[in-house]
Structure 1
Amino acid sequence: MSTQTSRTANPFPGLRPFQEDEDHLFFGREKKVKELLSKLQEGHFVAVMGASGSGKSSLVKSGLVSALQSGVMDSASGSWKVVTSTPGEHPMKNLAEAMHKLGMASEADFMWADDIENTLRQGPNGLVDVVAKSSLPSNTQLLVVVDQFEEIFRFAEIEKARNSGQRESQDFIDMLMHASQQRTVPIYVCLTMRSDFLEECTTFDGLPEAINAGQYLIPRMNTEELNAAITGPINAFGAEVSPYLLDLIHNDLVEQSDQLPLLQHALMRTWDYWKSLDQPNTPLGLEHYQHVGTLHLALSYHADEIYDSLPSDQSRKVCELVFKALTEKNAEHKEGVRRPTKMSDLVEISMVDFDQVAEVVEAFRAPGRNLLMPAVSEPLAPETVIDISHESLMRIWQKLVRWSLEEREVAHRYGNLVTRAQMWQSPVGGSLVSNPELKDTLYWMKDQQLQ
């Protein structure tokens, strides 16, 4: 790994995953990367699984992808192209757009992402057909990374609610499985998925078998690996770490389920504070780490700091509505589920103009913050999909914990009202809401801006 790193930057990414071009800062996972490469080489398919906070996306982006592009997989000749997508509520469309951005459209056959999407939808061979007809050189190996694959299960529930008889979710999975099983076109498939969604794989034909054959469950990092993950990036930037700080971080990590994102965020904040003191000959120590709140509170302090810096009460209300829209807690997944949402939808939910929502999003995705995605380098537009950087934000930021509980209560109460209305209109019949419950309900609906 290169140690030629600019001291104007930060060696830690915060909540967001490490990216492909940050492999020089990605320490302590060398053994896992080798195991992942072996699994991918064996079956052209790997499902990277682990608890929230186990570092799935970073392992794939900065570990697996960087290794492939450096030519370490012996059986694969030629160069590598990597297309990364998340299912969201439009899995085929999202994959098509990602492939189009990669430059896979040939002028003869595919001009637009819509053309790629139409081909993907033609059947299990859709992905193979797109690659075969694309402008990629013939010796190119393609890795399709479907990050946050658990989103496909929420999309399947949406399909079921629509009752249209269509199952794009199953078609999407069939297409990925077929692409990884055929050998005519060199396609490899990598999924990342939270392990608490494993049971839901059984609702799809072919998926359990593929998962069983290609599963890679990420082990927790041992002491040596964690030391490398902490000291490696700091040393690469020409600084040192106090051994007392290392000991305290190890003790703090024992109590945290969201190991890696909280570690990376706390160290990002610790580095920023240490650097602001302009004492380059002093190692990062306990005083710097404790100043930012340690592993336990650094993230909540940071999010509160950004929230409090918003220019008005209205901006803070928009912030609340945005984060409520982006997160969900339910009985099945109490840790929380991300809900990536388009800017246009956030504007509609917040009932303000685009610029007011953008102001909040920009505040939370600014350099050195990284609590929302996409990265600040991508301009915001109505179609831009906004997402939280990691699920740990839902569990650590106390304001968001409270907002999520409030949102869950609103959904429960509103659902009860809908059920009672449907019963009243049905042949069986039911009772209307009457005072004092009616008065209380009307006040509640006005407060929630429901009609």
Structure 2
Amino acid sequence: MSRDALIVGINSYQALPSLSAPAKDAEAVASCLQIYGEFRVRRLPEVIHAGKPSVGLQTGVTTEELEAALVHLFKPNGKNIPHTAVFYYSGHGLQRHAGVREGYLATSDTNPAQGRYGISLFWLRRLLQESPVRQRVVILDCCHSGEFMSFLEADPGAQDGTDRLFMAASREYEAAYEALDNAHSVFTAALVAGLNPNRTDGGIVSNYHLAERVSQRLKGELQQPLFESSGSEIVLTRASGDTTIVQGKPTSALERLRQLRFAFCPYRGMEPFDDIHGDYFFGREDLTQQLIDKVYQQPFCAVVGASGSGKTSLLRAGLIYQLRQRPERTDWKIQYVSVDHEPLRCLAEAFINPMADGLERAEQLRQAERFLCNGQDGLTQLIRACLAGSRRPDRRMLLIIDDLEQIFQGPDTEDIRHCRDLFIQQLVSASQASEAPLRIVISLRADALGHFNDYPDFRQLVRRHTLAVAPLDYEQMKLAITKPAEKVGLTYDKNLIYSLLLDVVGAPGELPLLQQTLRSLWKARQIDPDDEAPRLTLEAYAELGGIRHVLTHYATTIYEDLPVQEQQAAQRIFLALCELGEGGDDTRRRALTEELINADFSTDLIGRTLEKLVAARLVVVNHAGARQRQHPSPGVHLPQIAWRSQNNAGLTLGHLWADQAMETPLQLDQTLEIVHESLIRHWPLLQGWLQDNRDILRQKRRLDAAAQEWRQAGYTHHPEYLLTRARLQQAEQLLQCDRTWLSTLAQDYVRHSRRSGRYQRVRTALVATMLPLAVVGGLSLSLTPREDGATSWIPGLFSQADTALAAESSAGSLTGRSLSRAIVMAQTDLQRRSLLLLLQSRS
């Protein structure tokens, strides 16, 4: 009987934080299985050290490599099928929320920003279902590994005559941790100890014995493993002459729990809080309660705020978490959906059983889509159908639709528009169905409100039921800093809190900026040698360089991950958001989106790049009209150092929905702002761009301002609004040097100034020449008999000159060839001189 094992431990990642324990974990498990289990072990990544294979500490594993290895293990070609197959994985585990939640095993080339998540647990489940191997063992030591166990209702891989053991280091909503008292993770340390047959009475470790030993060893830990074992006994290891095993220093469960608490970071960095982080979500308690009250009192609520204001965290760690803590009040079935330009498809996928596959999944999707395509009541009908089998009569559906503005992203075809129209109609209809067991909560960026001008019913619905998300005030911000630290037992310097608030409060996008800084501080925490509580220190904050260094390092990482074309667009965006200091420091500047767009930087390119920068919280987007009308909320008292946040706090219903603030869906009037001024002052990349292009930027800004005035004057031909000859020459030189600097409006302005200048010069020259000649000609005509046609050409010449020069046309009677021919055929010196002058002005 052949016994094969695939042992994977990945330390090195391209787009995710590197780890230190997985490779050591994997090597310890591989050694156990080789020594005590007589397995043929394949290691990934594998290196040869001292003539022996071992798991590489710095070598990567691609998705393609791991996928091929798994197929070879569980579904090999030919007849050489192993009797027992073991798959062990240690590394990063990811969850993806795209209408439904999916779990992944991250490989070295995983990059969620580019849509690469690694090995899908759903795919692994299907592979097991089709595997001919009799005994199958899957052991996952990674965050959210319990996601694999959620498939067990569909009994993955369970067949008559098969045996299996599935082990997950943590539940689907939990993280997995490295141990503090040895080189391994918490779970694998228990696993390796459990695999040692010399520690058992009978000298044999089976699947049931291993699950029991690991469970006992981890009792009381923060992370709780999951096990599933079925079929006959699987002998994993048995006693031999070698009794070496990785030993751990014995510690009490209480002490290990205390130490692991210190190893947990309560701050989320640039990522939003999820419902599993609700215990560490502070500062939004009042707003969360307001949202909960609205959910119970009304069928619809729109959570509206600027980008970076914390809307997603409010929905997940606030609303969803709190409702799940109060199951006795109402039996909620919560569906959280992130939509894109095909919202009906996203909504339909949210109602599919995640354990369904193949024909069953396709049939569920077809039924959901059939409901949703059944007119404006389709959503209500689908909700009723989903709740029809509930045993509790008070069961209700809470449908949470995050980032609703995303329905306007992507292609704008007739089918997409029809899908979008029907989706919005269904939201309105479902919200008005008073007897429907449904509550709807949406989140919406304030700058995207103008998209809904064509949907007056929906606009009115949002207007009546808006919950505005304003920036945190000083005390709320303080809670967001101190309470998570206290909850996990961290201590902190009081001066650190003051310095953080001084640097952060009032900045656009302040929440992600604060969380990113706090996460960096946690990584640099001061560890007490006497095992006292770790401390967040002002000294560490200074060594990090303060917020400016944390942010600039992060900004460089985001920029370097962009494709080359989007890097150029990002450079253009950041430069547009800098106000050039005249004898002083450069500062933050608000810019209109339309300033960025021209033939070389299309709306699509700028939009894609902006979307990534906004998602990375480096750029804040606000609607131009709404931003101008914000004012402080009454009755709020803040310390002096927090006064700046008041200027941005008045995100009220009247401001968001004032008719004059609603512009075209193109959103060219939205304003952009850099997340923090420290990027301008301390980011080397941006400083270099500013230094290299300062003169060009000044000229561009003057042209942009003049072009705006020209447009506000109705694209007038009046010379007062157009470029003078000297300024036109400078603009022409800029266009010849690199026309990409100027926006479409500025380029139109330069072209119009050029045409108008030519027109005015020709008019002036013709008048200066024709006036004295006309006087002489008039005197001559008064003294000589009139010849028919001698002067009849003059009015026609002026008329043609006016028409052609105004349009800068080369067609008709005033082309170069026509003028040359007319000069040859001229009958008088007066005609010839006038035509020569006109020809010179055209050259």
After TM superposition, is the score higher than 0.5?
Answer: yes
The answer to whether structure 1 residue 88 and structure 2 residue 340 are counterparts is yes
Aligned to 2:418: 167
1:142-161 → structure 2 map (5 Å cutoff): 142-154=397-409, 158-159=411-412
Within 5 Å, give how 1:163-242 maps onto structure 2.
Answer: 163=414, 166-242=417-493
Which has the larger displacement, 271-280 or 48-57? Answer: 271-280
1:117 aligns with 2:369: yes
Residue number in structure 1 paired with 2:276: 21
The 2-side partners of 1:400 and 1:117 are apart by 48
Structure 1 position 38, deviation (Å): 1.6
1:302 maps to: 554
TM-score between both structures, scaled by the size of structure 2: 0.37
C-alpha distance in 2 between matches for 1:219 and 1:321? 35
Q: Does 1:390 align with 2:626?
A: no
Partner of 1:343: none
Aligned-partner Cα distance in 2 for 1:46–1:154: 22
Distance in 2, matches of 1:169 and 1:153, equals 8
The question of 1:62 aligning with 2:62 is answered no
Aligned amino acid, residue 148 of structure 1: D
Alignment of 1:409-448 (within 5 A): none
1:281-292 matches, within 5 Å, as 281=533, 283-292=535-544
State the Cα distance separating 1:205 from its structure 2 match. 3.1
TM-score, length-normalised on structure 1?
Answer: 0.66
Report the CA distance shift for 1:273/1:168 in structure 2 as closer, same or farther (over 3 A): same
Q: Which moved more, 1:6-15 or 1:291-300?
A: 291-300
2:499 is aligned with 1:274: no
Q: 1:299, CA displacement in angstroms?
A: 2.7
Cα 1:113–1:14 change in 2 (3 A) is farther
Q: How many angstroms does 1:23 deviate by? A: 0.8
Structure 1 residue 90, shift from structure 2 partner: 1.4
Q: In structure 2, the residue corresponding to 1:124 is in which secondary structure? A: coil
SS at match of 1:46: strand
Rounded to whole Å, the distance in 2 between the matches of 1:56 and 1:124 is 27
**How far apart are the structure 2 equivalents of 1:217 and 1:285?**
35
1:371-382 to structure 2, matched below 5 A, reads none
Q: Please list, as runs of the form range in 1=range in 2, the aligned pairs for 1:310-321 lying within 5 A after superposition.
A: 319-320=563-564
The answer to whether the 8 Å contact 1:241/1:284 transfers is yes
Kindly state the Cα deviation for residue 134 of structure 1 after the two structures are TM-superposed: 2.3
Distance 1:129 1:70, change over 3 A: same
After superposition, the Cα gap between the structure-2 partners of 1:35 and 1:255, relative to the gap in structure 1 and judged at 3 Å, is: closer
Distance 2:328 2:464 in 1: 20
Q: Residue 37 of structure 1: which of 275, 280, 292 is its match?
A: 292
How far is the alpha carbon of 1:262 from its aligned partner? 0.7
Q: Decide whether aligned partners of structure 1 residues 47 and 104 sit closer, same or farther in structure 2, where only a CA change above 3 A counts.
A: farther
CA distance in 2, matches of 1:271, 1:42: 40
Hey, what's the Cα distance between the residues in 2 that align with 1:328 and 1:89?
A: 27
Paired with 1:104 and 1:334, the residues of 2 have a C-alpha distance of: 46
- Tell me: CA distance 1:27–1:170, structure 2 relative to 1, closer, same or farther (3 Å): same
Contact 2:353 2:361 in 1 (8 A): no
Rounded to whole Å, the distance in 1 between the matches of 2:469 and 2:561 is 39
Aligned equivalent of 1:53, options 296, 301, 308: 308
Instruction: Confirm or deny: 8 A CA contact 1:125 1:175 kept in the other structure.
Output: yes
Listed one character per residue, the Cα deviations across residues 8-53 of structure 1 (whole Å, up to 9, x for unaligned) are: 3311111111101111101121111111112222212111111222
The answer (yes or no) to whether the contact 2:267–2:484 under 8 Å persists in 1 is yes
Residue identity in the other structure for 2:446: S
Q: Mapping of 1:95-106 within 5 angstroms? A: 95-100=347-352
Contact 2:270 2:616 (8 Å CA) reproduced: no
1:292-341 Cα offsets, whole Å, 9 max, x none, are 3433341331343587xxxxxxxx576556778999979765899xxxxx
> How many pairs align?
357
**Aligned mate of 1:254, from 505, 509, 516:** 505
The question of whether the paired residues in 2 share the 8 Å contact of 1:104 and 1:134 is answered with: no
Distance 1:236 1:183, change over 3 A: same
Distance in structure 2 (CA, Å) of the matches to 1:289 and 1:22: 24
**Distance across 2 between alignment mates of 1:108 and 1:183:** 33
Write the letter of the residue equivalent to 1:23.
G
Contact 1:80 1:143 in 2 (8 A): yes
5+ residue gaps in structure 2?
1-221, 223-256, 577-590, 597-607, 620-673, 690-696, 698-738, 748-806, 811-843
- In the alignment, the residues of structure 1 paired with residue 558 and residue 408 of structure 2 have an alpha-carbon distance, to the nearest angstrom, of 32
Task: Give the Cα–Cα distance (whole angstroms) in 2 for the partners of residues 259 and 321 of structure 1.
Answer: 29
Contact 1:50 1:193 in 2 (8 A): yes
Which secondary structure state, in structure 1, belongs to the residue aligned with residue 472 of structure 2?
Answer: coil
One-letter amino acid of the counterpart of residue 460, structure 2: E
Residues 144 and 27 from structure 1, CA distance in 2 versus in 1: closer, same or farther, beyond 3 angstroms?
A: same
Q: What's the offset of the Cα at 1:112?
A: 3.1
CA RMSD of aligned residues (A): 4.5
**Which residue type is aligned with residue 464 of structure 2?**
A
Q: Is the 8 A contact 1:110 1:116 kept in 2?
A: no
Higher relative contact order (CA 8 A, sep 6+): 1
Q: Secondary structure at the match of 2:496?
A: helix
Partners in 2 of 1:275 and 1:191 — Cα distance?
41
The answer as to whether partners of 2:524 and 2:540 remain within 8 angstroms in 1 is yes
Kept in 1, the 8 Å contact 2:334–2:400? The answer is yes
2:345 match: secondary structure = helix
Question: How far apart, CA to CA, are the structure 2 residues paired with 1:115 and 1:294?
Answer: 54
Distance 2:594 2:321 in 1: 34
**Cα pair distance change 1:102/1:30, threshold 3 Å:** farther
Kindly indicate which of the two structures has a greater share of residues assigned to strand.
2
The 3-state SS of whatever aligns with 2:536 is coil
Deviations 1:242-284 (A, max 9, x none): 1101111111123411111111111011111116797854531
Give per-residue Cα distances to partners, 1:146-181, cap 9 Å, x unaligned: 1111223345xx43xx35694222211111222222
SS at match of 1:28: coil
Q: Which amino acid aligns with 2:340?
A: G
Instruction: For residue 444 of structure 2, give the secondary structure of its aligned residue in structure 1.
Output: strand
CA distance in 2, matches of 1:328, 1:112: 46
